[in-house]
Structures are given as structure tokens and as C-alpha cells.
Amino acid sequence: MEPIDLKTLPVKILALETSVQPGSIALLDGSVTVYSSAFPTTGRTTQNFAVEMKEALTQTGWNPSQVDLFAVSQGPGSFTGLRIGVTAAKTFAFASDSQVLGVDTLEVLAYQTRGVLQGELEVIMNAQRGQLFHARFQCNDHISRLSPTELIDVDKWLLQKGSAAVTGPGIEICGDRLDPQETVDQELWQPQASALGAFAYEQHESGAKQDFWNLVPNYFRKSAAEEKLEEQNG
């Protein structure tokens, strides 16, 4: 019997999407999702994530040591969710001697529209305080970024937006000021761990690598406490 070439086996991925509530977890064999589940709506802690990971591995019959890549939302998104998610991914990747890869949340949202959208896409997330995280993409067989992520007032974005389709959880705070015909299907508004894992797989296969020790959340803004302190200090 010829020895198995491990390089030809699908990469086993555990994906954590924690940028929004409640978030989700997925296991993938290469680009194929074999398990997907939403997190509980309360108790977003590293310990609870560990419980959900254990359940996912049990359901699929995987051992933690079999996971080749831990993929996690790097931001933008919830400060708490991103911090806990990145910490959990790094902790379990270190314990199992696996790779880790942070993935941009807006790029995942754009990736989710592949196959259902051709053309320009605007992706928005709620940044709180009447603002949005926003970026533009070109979506065809592949997605390409047309603009960097920016922090913009909701009212300003609504005034300047063009005719491109819109996706992302930021749609919810726009209310009836955004024509429903301009948005993609509602089931695509929230980032999903299964899509995050598939996107991470493509990046991994293209040679993307993440320095374990330098992986940190990308908040794209200072916290409310930091901004308040700056105002007080002039």
C-alpha cells in the first residue's frame, strides 16, 4: 500500500463567527460544511465557546488534534464578540498545534452573495452611535474590494449611496429609509461561520498565513470609553 500524501487530504477547519449576536460555529472539510450551529444568545464567553466547540467535534466525530485551521472573525463587529472569538481561536489553535486565520467580516458578507449577485455590492454593519462600517465590493465568480472599510454616519451613507445592491446587518438600522428592492435576500444579511470557513479555506489554499502572536481583533474604531477619555483630555 502506498503511503497517504497528507497534502492531498482536505484541510479540516473550525470556523468561529463572533462579530454579531449570537454568532455561529462551523466545521468544514475543505470547502464543504459538515456541521453548523448558532451560539446561544447569552453567555458569550471563552468557556461557553469551548462547550460549543466540544459539541461540534462530538457531532462530527473529530478530535481537536484533527483541526488543521481555526478561522475566526477579525472585525469589524462587536468589541466583546471579536475579543472573545479571537482569544478562543488562538487558545485552541495553540493547544492543538494548529494554524489560525483571522477573516474580515465585511469580506465574508460579500462572499456570501457569490452565485446570487453579479455586480457592485455595498456592505454595511452597525457601528453603534448612529454610524456604519461600510465597504464596497465587486461580486462575480470572485469578490474584489473596491473601497477600504470606513466609519460613516448612517444619514451620510444613505444620502451618498448609489444604485448598488446592499447587504449586511447594518440594513436593520436603516429601517424604511432603505428600499427593500435594493437589498439582497435577508438570509444573507448576517455573517455565517460556514461562509467564513469556506472563505478562509480559499485564502488558505492561496497561501494566506497568519502570525499567531500578532492576530488581534480589528475594531476599526476606538471604544466609547476611549473616545470619551480623549474628549476629556482635549
Mean of pLDDT values over 125-136: 96
Q: Which segments of 9-130 are extended strands (E)?
A: 12-17, 24-29, 32-38, 69-75, 99-104, 119-128
Predicted confidence (pLDDT) at residue 205 exceeds the cutoff of 60: yes
Number of CB atoms found within 10 A of residue 12's CB: 18
Displacement of CA 21 from its chain's centroid (Å)? 12
Provide the pairing of β-strand 143-145 with 119-128. Answer: unpaired
Predicted confidence (pLDDT) at residue 232 exceeds the cutoff of 70: no
Predicted confidence (pLDDT) at residue 1 exceeds the cutoff of 50: no
Count helices and strands in the chain by DSSP H and E runs: 7, 10
Q: What is the pLDDT of residue 45?
A: 66
Q: What is the pLDDT of residue 3?
A: 39
Instruction: Give per-residue pLDDT as tens, 207-229.
Output: 998 988 899 999 997 765 555 55
Higher-pLDDT residue of 77, 5: 77
Q: Which CATH number fits domain 117-188: 1.10.10.10, 3.90.1150.200, 3.30.420.40, 3.40.50.1820?
A: 3.30.420.40
Q: Going by C-beta distance under 8 Å and a sequence separation of 6 or more, which residues neighbour residue 209? A: 99, 101
Q: What is the pLDDT of residue 5?
A: 41
Report the CATH number of the 6-106+191-232 domain: 3.30.420.40
Is residue 110 within 8 Å of residue 168, measured between CB atoms? no
User: Would you put residue 94 in left (φ > 0), alpha (ψ -120 to 50) or beta?
Assistant: alpha
Q: What is the pLDDT of residue 2?
A: 43
Q: Going by C-beta distance under 8 Å and a sequence separation of 6 or more, which residues neighbour residue 58? A: none
**Summary mean pLDDT of the chain:** 90
Predicted confidence (pLDDT) at residue 24 exceeds the cutoff of 70: yes
- Which part of the chain is CATH 3.30.420.40? 6-106+191-232, 117-188
Predicted confidence (pLDDT) at residue 114 exceeds the cutoff of 80: yes
Is residue 50 within 8 Å of residue 70, measured between CB atoms? no
In this structure, what are the phi and psi dihedrals at residue 71, rounded to the nearest 5 degrees? Answer: -105, 140
Q: What is the pLDDT of residue 230?
A: 58
In this structure, what are the phi and psi dihedrals at residue 128, rounded to the nearest 5 degrees? Answer: 70, 170
Instruction: Give per-residue pLDDT as tens, 45-82.
Output: 667 778 888 899 999 999 989 999 999 999 999 999 99
Displacement of CA 213 from its chain's centroid (Å)? 20
Q: Going by C-beta distance under 8 Å and a sequence separation of 6 or more, which residues neighbour residue 184? A: 113, 116, 117, 121, 165, 166, 167
Mean of pLDDT values over 25-51: 86
Instruction: Give per-residue pLDDT as tens, 143-183.
Output: 999 999 999 999 999 999 989 999 999 999 999 999 999 99
Task: Please name which of 7, 10, 14 lies closest in space to residue 69, comparing C-alpha atoms.
Answer: 14
What is the rounded distance in angstroms from the CA atom of residue 42 to the CA atom of residue 229? 30
